A and B are shown apart, each in its own frame.
Chain A
């Protein structure tokens, strides 16, 4: 059975990751920053020349909010797949933490909240970057940050579920190739999904990235009609998934 979570102890785990991160951030921040900007330049400027406006928006402006969404997503997924797995299996960090008053439930909560913190952080960096390019139209964009944090929890939960069941670190290839990459391509970041065959656009509706992309586009452009649906969808999904990583990680770690 799951025990109640002492948030203070979960925060200690979060703090540990923060301490480690602040020692290493210089190298990792640059990498996380470079890739989205490359997408923006390659697709927005390179490909954008050959593409007419989408829904009356120049192509680079169309994809910019989507790059916020995808960067934010990948920050959480990398953290809770490779990051969590290395701490669990190679560095034995979890063994060290669980030998203290911190219980497994608190450890998992700390991991998830750290990943979603990174989600919000990297999303914010991209927001700053695209506003530098003049691609942000509205101050509503500030309201996007808590949304990034919340959707970060979904991506963290999904990744953690994957981490709890993979036989080895190589198995993450399947997760990325079969799940993350298709979601990245077909969630409305690069083109509207309405034009896809109906069954694909229906699948897109059931992915968190689709809703996050809608929310990003809404807050960045200031056209926030209807995005309440996306935000409610995100909150509901966080809650629906919530117990699963705890149960599966407990099963994996406590023998």
Chain B
């Protein structure tokens, strides 16, 4: 069953075309990855899923509904893990989740229970009453994941879920995501780590300068083009995933 459908999706910022006539369909329960370096248009697409970016052309349908007209309802069924850490720095770990639950109209008794359950799930129970500023980067990322799950979302949208994490924390996030996948949650993620795409994704969209140059399973892509996903990327775009990352890292 198709749960998300995009056709001719385009986004212009002035003269810059960030997303260029992109088509894709995402099926319920699959893990779909957008693979590409920074600046390929991945984050712009992610932000379109929750109406923070409005397409210049084309459309996205989620649950078969038009996103512009049913934004609140659609968003009530999505979980979003943003690229930037946007936790409430002034609040404790637990309070962050409770405040977030309120936006979904979850009652206070239920939200407290749910929040505690999720802290347990991501291993932050002991940090429940700690100020966010005292959490490590990996813990903050885990809390963001817990926050994205507060409304039991059917679709989880993850923008660079493990960027900046140490290998141990990264593995933790991957394990959690695999568990969610087994529970039939649809996962959509962006990444520039080929290992992440290979480990998690059922299908991958290879992105270059706003365009999708190929969509297939990692196995098929590697079968057709040979080597690992990095080699696939090089053959499809003439560029290296890694080198581009380094350029980006130097910039930021």
Chain A residues touching B, majority SS:
helix
CB distance from B36 to the nearest CB of A (A): 20
Task: Report B73-124 residues with CB < 8 Å from chain A CB.
Answer: 73, 75-76, 78, 80, 82, 84-91, 95, 99-100, 102-105
Task: Report A98-116 residues with CB < 8 Å from chain B CB.
Answer: 98-103
Contact B50 A99 (CB under 8 A): yes
> Does A97 count as interface, using CB distance less than 8 angstroms?
yes
Contact A92 B84 (CB under 8 A): yes
CB distance from A95 to the nearest CB of B (A): 5
Task: Report B11-53 residues with CB < 8 Å from chain A CB.
Answer: 13, 47, 50-53
Contact B82 A16 (CB under 8 A): no
Contact partner, A24, options B50, B78, B90, Cβ 8 Å = B90
Which residues of A are found within 8 Å of B47, using beta-carbon distances?
Answer: 255
Closest A residue to B47 by CB, please name it: A255
Cα A7 to Cα B99 with chains together (Å): 17
Contact partner, A255, options B50, B52, B82, B95, Cβ 8 Å = B52
Closest B residue to A96 by CB, please name it: B86
Which residues of A are found within 8 Å of B76, using beta-carbon distances?
Answer: 100-101
Contact B82 A20 (CB under 8 A): no
Which residues of B are found within 8 Å of A103, using beta-carbon distances?
Answer: 51, 71-72
> Does B135 count as interface, using CB distance less than 8 angstroms?
no
CB distance from A102 to the nearest CB of B (A): 5
CB distance from A88 to the nearest CB of B (A): 11
Contact partner, B103, options A19, A23, A101, A254, Cβ 8 Å = A101
Which residues of A are found within 8 Å of B90, using beta-carbon distances?
Answer: 20, 23-24
Given A98-B51, A99-B78, A103-B71, A91-B86 contact (CB < 8 Å): yes
Which residues of A are found within 8 Å of B103, using beta-carbon distances?
Answer: 9, 12-13, 16, 97, 100-102
A6-B72, A101-B104, A255-B54 are known; give 11 further A-B pairs, CB within 8 A: A9-B105, A20-B90, A24-B90, A95-B86, A99-B50, A99-B75, A99-B78, A100-B100, A101-B72, A101-B75, A254-B52
Q: When A and B form their complex, which 7 residue pairs have the shortest distance between CB atoms, in order from nearest?
A: A100-B103, A92-B86, A99-B80, A96-B86, A101-B72, A101-B76, A20-B90
